[in-house]
Structure formats: C-alpha cells, structure tokens
C-alpha cells in the first residue's frame, strides 16, 4: 500500500506542478525512473551524514557506491525536469503570441514559476541562472507534495487498521458527516465536511506525533547563542532536532504516550480540535520556519483517508514486519502489505 500511496501522490504532484500525468498508477504499475530517483537521492543524503565527508566525496568522484547511484539519479531527475521546463517555455512563447483581448494567462504552477522568475531576474539572467533555480524549486515542492503525504498515509492506515476501536469511531464520524449518500455526492468531501471530521483530524495528528513524515530536522547556528534550556551553542554548530523523539517523550505527552489515542487532540467539553503549540507538536516545524502548507496537507490527508476508509476495509497481512526506514523521510522499510476488502458485501 505504501507503493500505491507513493505512486498516487507522485501523479498528483506532477499534475499540479508540471501539468502532466506520469501514470504511475496505471494497471501495469510501471517503473518510473524519475520517481525512483527521488528515493535514491533521499537515502544518499542520510548516507552522507553517516560517513566522513571525504568518503562520500571520493565515491562521488569515482562514481561508485551510493554516490555513483546518486549521480545517475540526479542526471535522470534533471533530464526529466529540464524537458518539462523546455516544453513549458515553448508553451509560454506560444501563449504570449496568441493572448486574447482579455489577457487570458491560465498558466499552471510551473508556468507561473517560470514567468515570475524571468520577470524578477530578467531574460538575460534567467538563461544562465533562472532554469537552475526553477528546477531546484520544483524538486523541493515535489518532495514536499509527494513524500510527506505518502509517508503519513502509510502509517495512518497501519495504525488505524491495527486499532479497530479507532477505525470504528472514524467510520461513525464519516457516516454522521457525509451520510450514506456520500457515495453519490462524489469521491471527495467538501471543505465544510472536512472541517467537521474532528476525530479523523485527531487520528492524523496522532499518526504524525508517533511517526512524523520528516523524523529529524538538522540546523546549524550562524552565531554563538544560548538555547532556552540554558545550553550554550557555538558558532556553526550543527544541531539535530529529533521530531520523532519529541513525539514520544513522557514528560511532554504523559504516561500514555505509546498509545494511539486521537482523543488527546479533542476537547471533552467542546468536542472540537485542541490547539497544540508547534513547539510541542513539531511535525510541521515551529515559529517562522513552520510549514506554510500545513492546512493543505491536512485537507489532502483527511480527503484521501475518508475516501478509502468509507469504501474499503484494509487488513494488514499477518506477520508482515513494519519498521521505519532510516532516511530523511520515515517510509516503512518493507512497505505495507495489506488485503483490501470492499465494505459493500456484494463486492467482496
């Protein structure tokens, strides 16, 4: 199921950003080299933090080991994005020469990024620096849109299906919110319906507490400073913030920190979602570095989760090992093997 989620979010991200559908979810489940390149590069980043710099730099120079794989992955990814940018540049020139009187410029996100970058840098600078900036920006957006959502959904379905009581409460909430006619109303829920899914919101928040999509956040001090804890930090000191560990601290979350408990995010009095400070729940970072796409991420997660759960029952295969993969994204090391059963008896 993790592979399905990755394919789905990659297709979705490419549609939104690049205006194309790579069809990762076609029935043949094809190999998509540019999608696989992301996985290689992410694991290589972790590898670089585990060995002395001279080791990986030597490997990169010799094109061997992880660095040899990384070079090939970077070439594959850059070729894919450069081709998309080239196509968009051609489309941009065609649109500029054929705009109607209303000035219709219905561009997708990549086109808008190209236009804005060219406007800010100027045509001369864009040709030498602009394309690299656009390409790297698109990579960042694709990682944020593809991997974080796919990781969160994989852990969410595992936690929910292994906690039947939670699954039952989510289904009750979906029935009350969407009703039995939800199937005929469309695949996705409206924003108003999503806002009413308080328990589902709590279940997703609890998933991100226990298994944050990005488990560690590295920082480096620009100047000497003193942390709120009183610890002195020297200039250019590297600090690794373990968001994974923060979500499992008894002094922060209580003695029941190991429990998958969506109720901890819901007020008993108002039955509404409780606001938890970002410095306590740091899955989306905190302060001025907080993720600007937090609300969009929750909307996506709630929509996809509700679509799947109200139609299908997910059953994890017996004895399937579920372990986190040591990488910059907390994917499951062995994926998530499940059986998918229709909730309509006649379709089983």
Q: Which 8-state DSSP code applies to residue 189?
A: P
Q: Where are the alpha helices (DSSP H) in 162-233?
A: 164-178, 182-185, 191-196, 198-210
CB 36 within 8 A of CB 70: no
Q: Is residue 8 part of a domain?
A: yes
Q: Is residue 236 part of a domain?
A: no
Q: Is residue 11 part of a domain?
A: yes
Q: Of 190, 206, 189, 192, nearest to 274 (Cα)? A: 206
For residues 229-246, give the mean pLDDT: 91
- What's the rounded Cα separation, in Å, for the pair 234 and 249? 26
User: Taking the model in full, what pTM does it have?
Assistant: 0.87
Asked whether residue 102 carries a pLDDT value surpassing 60, the answer given is no
Q: Is residue 138 part of a domain?
A: yes
What is the sign, positive or negative, of the torsion defined by CA atoms of 254, 257, 260, 265? positive
Q: Distance of CA 282 to CAs 187, 216, 276, Å?
A: 31, 10, 10
Q: Is residue 74 part of a domain?
A: yes
Q: Tens digits of per-residue pLDDT, 107-121?
A: 678 888 888 888 888
Domain that holds residue 115: 1-148
Backbone angles phi, psi at 342, to 5 degrees: -70, 140
Q: What percent of the chain has a predicted confidence (pLDDT) above 70?
A: 92
- What's the rounded Cα separation, in Å, for the pair 94 and 21? 22
Residue 107, token pair as written in the block:
């561009």
Residue 31, token pair as written in the block:
């190999």
Asked whether residue 178 carries a pLDDT value surpassing 90, the answer given is no
Q: Distance of CA 322 to CAs 158, 160, 162, 331, Å?
A: 9, 14, 12, 10
- What's the rounded Cα separation, in Å, for the pair 55 and 66? 11
Q: Is residue 123 part of a domain?
A: yes
Q: Tens digits of per-residue pLDDT, 11-60?
A: 999 998 888 898 998 888 898 898 899 888 888 888 888 889 899 999 99
Q: Is residue 330 part of a domain?
A: no
The answer on whether 176 is annotated among ligand-binding residues is no
Structurally, how many domains does the chain consist of? 1
Q: Is residue 292 part of a domain?
A: no
CB 30 within 8 A of CB 24: yes
């Amino acid at each position: 199921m993790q592979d399905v989620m990755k394919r789905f979010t990659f297709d979705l991200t490419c549609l939104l950003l690049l205006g194309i559908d790579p069809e990762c979810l076609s029935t043949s489940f094809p190999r998509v080299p540019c999608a696989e390149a992301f996985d290689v590069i992410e694991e290589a980043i972790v590898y670089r933090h585990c060995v002395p710099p001279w080791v990986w730099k030597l490997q990169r120079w010799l094109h061997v080991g992880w660095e040899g794989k990384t070079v090939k992955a970077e070439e594959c990814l850059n070729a894919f994005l450069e081709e998309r940018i080239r196509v968009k540049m051609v489309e941009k020139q065609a649109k500029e020469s054929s705009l109607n009187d209303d000035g219709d410029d219905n561009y997708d996100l990549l086109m808008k990024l190209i236009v804005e970058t060219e406007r800010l840098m100027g045509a001369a600078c864009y040709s030498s620096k602009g394309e690299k900036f656009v390409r790297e920006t698109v990579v960042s957006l694709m990682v944020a849109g593809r991997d974080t959502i796919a990781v969160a959904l994989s852990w969410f379905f595992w936690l929910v299906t292994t906690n039947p009581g939670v699954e039952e409460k989510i289904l009750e909430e979906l029935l009350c919110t969407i009703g039995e006619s939800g199937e005929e109303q469309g695949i996705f829920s409206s924003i108003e319906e999503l806002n009413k899914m308080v328990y589902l919101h709590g279940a997703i928040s609890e998933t991100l507490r226990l298994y944050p999509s990005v488990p560690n956040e590295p920082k480096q001090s620009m100047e000497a400073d003193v942390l709120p804890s009183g610890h002195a930090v020297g200039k250019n000191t590297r600090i690794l913030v373990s968001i994974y560990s923060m979500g499992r601290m008894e002094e922060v979350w209580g003695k029941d920190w190991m429990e998958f408990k969506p109720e901890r995010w819901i007020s008993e009095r108002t039955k509404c979602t409780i606001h938890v400070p970002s410095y306590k729940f740091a899955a989306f970072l905190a302060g001025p570095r907080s993720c600007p796409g937090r609300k969009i991420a929750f909307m996506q997660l709630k929509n996809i989760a509700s679509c799947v759960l109200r139609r299908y029952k997910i059953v994890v295969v017996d004895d399937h090992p579920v372990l986190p993969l040591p990488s910059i994204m907390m994917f499951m090391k062995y994926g998530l093997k499940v059986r998918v059963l229709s909730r309509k008896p006649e379709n089983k």
